[in-house]
Structure 1
Amino acid sequence: MLKVEKLGVILEATAHDFESAGVLNPAVIQEGENVKMLYRAFKDGNFSTIGYCEFNGPVKLKARYDIPVIIPEKNYEIHGVEDPRIVKIDGVYYITYTGYDGKNALGCLATSKDLQHFEKHGIITPSASLNSYKIALDNNRSIFPKYFEHLQTYIDRGLIHKTKYKVWDKDVVLFPEKIDGHFMMIHRLLPGMQWVKFKSFSDLDKAFWKDYLFHLNQYILMDPLFDFENMHIGAGAPPLKTKEGWLLINHSVQSTPKGRNYHATVALLDLKDPTKVTHRLNTPLFSPDQFYEKVGYVNNVCFPSGTSLFDDDLYVYYGAADNTIAVARMQLSELLEHLLKFPCNDH
């Protein structure tokens, strides 16, 4: 039986204006015995910025800034910069995050050499109008039907021909190393997760994404499968390289008669070809069952978005009830042993 130990809340809101309403959904980068964290902070009105803190070891807070390090500056993020993830490749920190303009939520990129100064590179997801996305989906008739169901919610709201509305694309994570000389990225067009492989971020232009969406069915990494993910799934922490494959800790959203539940879930990707899912746990890794996970800005949320590894102890950092940041611990070897019992039949 896999043992998951919840260690509780490690970061909460403060009296500082930018994070007075809550903190959540952290990006984590481990450097030796230190853990550096970028986290989403928000104030009243749900305006989000990104804060910064550091830990000695996995959970002992040693430094925390009293001002945000990334703030809304561009029109595409004017209502908030949200839900960062972070990897370090060839000495450069790559921070993916969601830019929210009040109508659209799209994946964005910033880079840094020191996590003190950041250069923004704009939107790196399709930024497709709803109507153009509908035309592309019509070319993917064999795709999972829920893609059309999610698009229908926009149609029902009369937004399909309003060009200022884009199809949302969130939960963008990069692999922490290049695959065959290429960046590899996971993103989320509801309800599933898709993969993208590219040489340079400059490749991700309008023509690239138009062709990509017209062949979207070829780029599906995972779609919802189990009851606990009957609404949608999305990437969580950047994939962790292990001897058994790339460990992908993600999140799933379940619709229940009492509302939505956000679970932490887990899968394993092929080491040489991460577009293939080799194993997938058929139960949540962990679910909201503690008060700080069940009651908050959004109730019943465990939203994993970062990990650290100390010996065999795997720490999973997550947003709890969209209000605080918590951490869970498990043995990596035990998790892999358990996960290998659940092979996928279609990889």
Structure 2
Amino acid sequence: MKNYSLRRLSDQPILQTSDVKPSIEGFSVLGAFNPAACRVGDEIILLLRVAEAPISEKGWLSIPIIEETDGIPQLVVKTFREPTDDYDPRVITLDGKVYLSSISHLRLARSRDGIHFEIDEKPFMFPTRMDESFGIEDARITFLEGKYWITYTSVSEHGPGVGLAVTTDFQTIDRVGMILAPPNKDVALFPDRINDKYMLLHRPMVSEIGKPSIWLAESVDGIHWGNHQFLFGASGADWEFQKIGAGPEPILTDDGWLVLYHGTSRNTEYSLALALLDRDNPARVIDRSTTPLLTPELPWERKGFFPNVVFSNGWVQAPANSKRSDAIWVYYGAADSGVGLAELIQE
């Protein structure tokens, strides 16, 4: 993958957490990041992951969660004494149970030029099911057969699984439900059937046995998935050691399917890289990066709600009036606190 480069279009984020208003009274926005992206008419659409949490009094933690009341899932807030020891700002164990410190939803943002966005004040998708009780995160959008297929991470006490929703206009939405059970995430649908099958990339999460890896699966209906195949794993190089996962939907090029993915280093630094898959048999890896194309270097990429992260799950063809209309614009989350924009160019 030596003939590709990924260059920032600005040394400043195009969106920041402070640009997003809380959707719930008494809550604050802790992060706005990791957007899915697509084109709809003459607009570029982003689906931001927005993490919100109740404003807590000093010495206390207020944890938002979906719980069932009379069989109906509803948002509730649980209050705990703040631990005196150091703790992870995102995941915390309280009274023997694991919680997330915030709850995430998907928020719509629209732009004509792909740089200046108007952000909706209310969620486009908010957790509504018990398998989303800890939030919905990190969407991907694939335009397929006249519809926008949205895959996202559904998080609950049982772990992260993969949800699916479908829309034609980003106004009404059909929420299909969970298509891959926990623990799994980072699902990207291919934008065309291959050999008459729907196909996707996914990331089973390993524990005692196995290493971080990206897998391939197929389906006859886009809902029920099987024939799971290992695609490739983390190389073991320092920059892709702890984790690896697919980014946005693959793009078909003259050389094959282009895949953007992230790798995580030994010290939990997220970087971006590329792989190339055979167009007729995407289980065959033609090429992949040996070094990352983008790493966290700027202050707003290195410091934030979760530091040292560049993470992409959204890209689009560059606007016709841009300097390089043959480029791909890559939207990336930075330190779980904002959104940057980079340009992918084939030299």
Under TM normalisation by the shorter chain, which class is it?
0.7 to 0.9
Partner of 1:196: 217
Q: Does 1:48 align with 2:104?
A: yes
Partner of 1:341: none
Q: Structure 1 70/195 Cα, relative in aligned 2: closer, same or farther at 3 Å?
A: same
> Residue 199 of structure 1 aligns to which amino acid in structure 2?
V
Matches within 5 A, 1:299-314: 299-310=307-318, 311-314=325-328
2:269 match: secondary structure: strand
Q: Structure 1 33/242 Cα, relative in aligned 2: closer, same or farther at 3 Å?
A: farther
Structure 2: runs of 5+ lacking an equivalent: 54-100, 206-211, 319-324
Greater fraction helix:
1
Further displaced range: 167-176 or 5-14: 5-14
Q: Does 1:175 align with 2:190?
A: yes
Percent of residue pairs bearing the same amino acid type: 29
Write the deviation string for residues 206-243 of structure 1: whole angstroms up to 9, x where unpaired.
xx5xxx5xxx6xx0111011331111200111101111
1:23 aligns with one of 17, 32, 39: 32
Partner of 1:159: none
Query: Number of matched residues?
Result: 278
Partner of 1:251: 262
2:141 match: secondary structure: strand
Q: TM-score, normalised by structure 2?
A: 0.76
Write the deviation string for residues 130-149 of structure 1: whole angstroms up to 9, x where unpaired.
xxxxxxxxxxxxxxxxxxxx
1:9 aligns with one of 7, 10, 13: 13
> Residue 334 of structure 2 aligns to which amino acid in structure 1?
A
RMSD between superposed Cα atoms in Å: 1.7
How far residue 327 of structure 1 moved from its aligned partner, in angstroms, is 1.1
Q: TM-score, normalised by structure 1?
A: 0.76
Matches within 5 A, 1:69-148: 69-125=124-180, 127=181
Matches within 5 A, 1:54-73: 54-61=110-117, 63-73=118-128
Partner of 2:300: 292
Write the deviation string for residues 164-203 of structure 1: whole angstroms up to 9, x where unpaired.
xxx4100011011111221101110131010001111343
How far residue 118 of structure 1 moved from its aligned partner, in angstroms, is 1.3
1:57 match: secondary structure: coil
Greater fraction strand:
2
Alignment partners' CA distance in 2, 1:95 and 1:267 = 22
2:239 aligns with one of 228, 231, 242: 228
Structure 1: runs of 5+ lacking an equivalent: 128-166, 335-347
Contact preservation (8 Å) 1:58, 1:308: no
Q: Structure 1 261/118 Cα, relative in aligned 2: closer, same or farther at 3 Å?
A: same
Q: Does 1:325 align with 2:339?
A: yes
Alignment partners' CA distance in 1, 2:277 and 2:15 = 31
1:228 match: secondary structure: helix
Partner of 2:288: 280
> Residue 12 of structure 1 aligns to which amino acid in structure 2?
Q
